[in-house]
Amino acid sequence: MNRVLITGGSGFLGSHLCERLLDRGDEVICLDNFFTGRRRNIEHLLGHHRFELVRHDVVEPILLEVDRIFNLACPASPIHYQFNPVKTVKTSVMGAINMLGLAKRVRARILQASTSEVYGDPEQHPQTEGYWGHVNPIGPRSCYDEGKRVAETLFMDYHRQNQVDIRIARIFNTYGPRMHPNDGRVVSNFVVQALRSQDITIFGNGRQTRSFCHVDDLVDGLIRLMDQEEGDVQLPVNLGNPGEFSMLELAQKILRTSGSTSRIVHEPLPQDDPRQRRPDISRAQRLLGWEPQITLDQGLPSILEWFRKDLEIS
Ligand code: NAD
Ligand code: UDP
């Protein structure tokens, strides 16, 4: 049994991680400032004897006795991370410093939830971990992209300088139950629009691509990476589903699966929107024996069903 701290534990990914770790017998401390996290995501865990909830902001230091830290605290959707960009940078950078300081002090292993956004608008396709990226340092996405890049730097430096036992997961677009309906990410937007018979808003011509991983696969990858003792485990590892789809294809799939009569409309493409994205997951396959099991076609019906209930649409 491990004593595990999950920052951002009441968010979309964090709440699934809390559940999975409790299921296997770990003790879980969920730490969150509830900026984008929801109490209802973890409400069902509140009575659990191995679960504890701490309201705290990672920008401030904290001392807790734990063996493992999953550092997930950070708004992940463009509308949320651009709402207060200075705070987003602080969360990524000061959050990383505070959590790495804690890991160093109590000798905990620590995993950073990094992102495919460290590759920016990539000129290498698919993206391998060796690619340094193509990121605008002064654009509207920079607070998130550069914040996450500095966090990776801090992780590597604490590892080299202080021998902190680190893991870095570069997470690609993930979807599943408990995504916030107003979170602005493409899967939740399209699904909610389809269920409410509203127009499906494709930004730009819809030919930009993304790769979508189901949350169950993603959480499995995070746990494997944290548990892995052997190999190049201190290097970043891409975690994502290599299936690649254009936003037009995604919209059509959601329309077909839901039977919705929504129309597709086009809206302006946001600045610096990456044109293509697909993970090369050979490192995760080799190091962790991990690869996603759930295709987008298999995952979409369950997310539609979940949103139907969440929004109480019959
Ligand atoms: P989310 O917004 O649902 O969850 C983030 C959680 O962090 C929320 O509960 C929020 O309240 C909390 N939080 C934010 N700022 C905080 C602060 N200063 N102190 C304490 N808590 C804070 O997002 P998510 O999709 O669950 O993402 C979790 C992590 O995974 C993030 O770090 C994100 O960057 C990373 N990630 C997610 C995806 C994805 O597709 N979901 C892709 C790449 C990376
Ligand atoms: N997108 C879209 N319509 C929406 C929301 C997003 O066409 O209502 C596009 C967005 O421009 C991007 C892609 O979908 O090209 C993925 O956007 P998301 O915000 O989910 O993730 P990210 O851009 O951070 O990968």
- Residues 61-107 have pLDDT tens digits of 999 999 999 999 999 999 999 999 999 999 999 999 999 999 999 99
Exposure letters 41-73 (e unless 16+ CB within 10 A, then b): bbeebeeeeebbbeebbbbeeeeeebbbbbbbb
Read off the pLDDT of residues 203-219 as tens digits, 9 standing for 90 and up: 999 999 999 999 999 99
The tally of domains found in the chain comes to 1
Radius of gyration of the chain (CA): 19
Q: Is 149 a domain residue?
A: yes
The residue segments making up the domain with residue 156 are 3-175+213-241+278-292
Q: What's the confidence (pLDDT) of residue 314?
A: 41
Q: Is 83 a domain residue?
A: yes
Dist. CA 219 → ligand 2 center (Å): 22
Instruction: For ligand 1, say whether the CB of 14 is within 6 Å of any of its atoms.
Output: yes
Q: What's the confidence (pLDDT) of residue 129?
A: 98
Q: What's the confidence (pLDDT) of residue 9?
A: 98
Residue 313, pLDDT above cutoff 70: no
- Do 68 and 28 touch, CB atoms closer than 8 A? no
Q: Is 96 a domain residue?
A: yes
The contacts found for 81-87 with CB under 8 angstroms, 24 or more apart, are 81/143, 81/144, 82/140, 82/141, 82/143, 82/144, 85/140, 85/142, 85/143, 86/143, 87/59
* CATH number of the domain within which 111 lies: 3.40.50.720
Instruction: For ligand 2, say whether the CB of 186 is within 6 Å of any of its atoms.
Output: yes
Which atom of ligand 2 is the closest one to the Cα of 251?
7
How large is the average pLDDT for residues 33-49?
A: 96
Cβ contacts of 255 within 8 Å, gap of 6 or more:
194, 200, 262, 264
Instruction: Sort strands 68-71 and 213-214 into parallel, antiparallel or unpaired.
Output: unpaired
Nearest one of 87, 84, 131 to 279, comparing CA atoms: 131
Residue percentage of the chain with pLDDT more than 90: 96
Q: Is 197 a domain residue?
A: no
The pTM is what?
A: 0.98
